[in-house]
Chain A
Amino acid sequence: MFSIRFQVSAILVLLSGLIILLPDARQSSGELNVPGMLEVMNESGQFLTVDQVARMVVYEDTSILLVDVRDTEAYRAVHIPGAINLPVSDILNPDWSGYLDDPVVRPVFYSNGNTMAGEAWMICTQKGYTGSYIMKGGMNEWYREVMESTFEGERITAADNATFEVRYRARKFFNRMNSTPDSLKTAFLEVKRKKEDDLVGGCE
C-alpha cells in the first residue's frame, strides 16, 4: 500500500490544485451577489432626507457617521459638522473598512448631489458593508432646505415648528463649524485607521 508520505502529498497537491478553481476570497467573503444587490437597490430605506440628517447632527446622534465622499478640497471648503472625508475614489481602501463596516454606527454618504454618494453606496453595499444610507439630494439639497428655507404662511403647525427649530440650530452649527480656520478643520480630516490598530499577532 502507499506510504503516508505519498498519501499526504497526494491529498495536499490535489487540494491545492482544486482551490485554484475556487473564486477569489476577497471577492466573495460577505459580498452581495446579483439577486442580493437587486433586492437592496429597490429598497427605499437607503435614503435619509436632509431634515433627518439635520436632526441627527443637532442631537449628536452617535448611531450614524456622516461620510463626505467629495474630494478633499470640497470637504475643506464646506462640510456638514461631524462628517469625515473619504473621497469616493478611495472608498475601498482597507484602512476605512473599520468605519464602513461598523455594525453599530451606520455610514451616511453625501456629496453635492446624489451621484457620487450613490456610487459610494453601491460599491460599499456590494462589498458587504450593508446598512449604509445616502443623504438624498446631497449638499445642494442641504442648502436649499436647511440653510436657506424660510417659513411662509399664516399659522405654523407644531410639526413645522419642530422642523424649523432643528433647521435653525443645524444652520448655526453648520456656520460656526465651517467658519473655523482651515488649520482647525484639517484636524477632522485626519481620519484614524480604525482596523489596523486591532491587528496584533506574531511575536511582537
Chain B
Amino acid sequence: MMKNYLFLLLLVPLVILIILALPGKRSFRFSGEAILEQIGQNTHIISVHKFKEFKAGEPGIQLVDLRSVNEFANGHLPEAVNMPAESLGTGEIYRFFKGMESDRVLYSGETYQAEKYWILFRQMGIENLYVLETGYALDSLIMNWDSESSRRILVDEDPSFTFQPDTAFNY
C-alpha cells in the first residue's frame, strides 16, 4: 500500500517538471539548419530592380523599414512602413505581420542589418518575407529611387579587391 503512494508522489514532481519545461521553448518554428538551407537557396535577397518587377505584378507588396523612428522620419523609401528594430518585442512582431497578406520586403541601413532580422523573423515562422538589397548607400537610394532601377547597387559580398602575390615584399 505504502509503495503505491510513494510512486504517485514520485510521479507528481516529474509531471510538474515537464509542465514547467513546456512554455517559452516553442518560440522558434524553424531551426538554424532549416534557415541555413533557405539562405543557401539565395532567393531571399532581392535587388531594387527585382523589387520593382514584383511591385508591378503585385501592387500590395509592402516595404518594411527597420531603422529607428528618427531615421525613418528623415527620409524613407516610398510607401514603406516603419518597424523600429531597436524596440521590438515578440508580441509586437507577430502583431505587426499578422493580417498582412502580401509579400513583405525588409530593408535597413545596410543589407546585412535587414538580413539579420529576416533570419529572426523567418525562424519565428513568418512567411513571404524578403530582404531588399540596398548595399551601403541607402540615402542615395532614397533620393534616386525612381531613376535607380537600372543602376546596379554595390553588392556587399562582391570582392572589391584583388590580391597580387608579386607585390609581397615590395614594402
Contact = CB atoms under 8 A, between A and B. Distances in A.
Classify A-B as touching or not with yes or no (CB < 8 A): yes
B156 A19 contact: no
Contact of A114 (B25, B112, B161): B112
Nearest to A113: B156
Chain B CB within 10 Å, residue with most, of A4, A18, A34, A111: A34
A41 B93 contact: no
B47 to A, nearest CB: 13
A197 B66 CA distance: 44
A143 B157 contact: no
Interface string B139-171: 000000000000000011111110101011101
Interface stretch (A158-166, A174-182, A186-194): A174-182
Contacts of B45: 115
A122 B119 contact: yes
A35 B90 contact: yes
A135 interface: no
Contacts of A37: 120
A93 to B, nearest CB: 10
Contact of B163 (A22, A77, A168): A77
Contacts of B24: 33
A8 to B, nearest CB: 8
Nearest to B93: A34
Given A1-B1, A2-B4, A21-B22, A34 B27 contact: yes
A179 B21 CA distance: 54
B3 interface: yes
B157 A118 contact: no
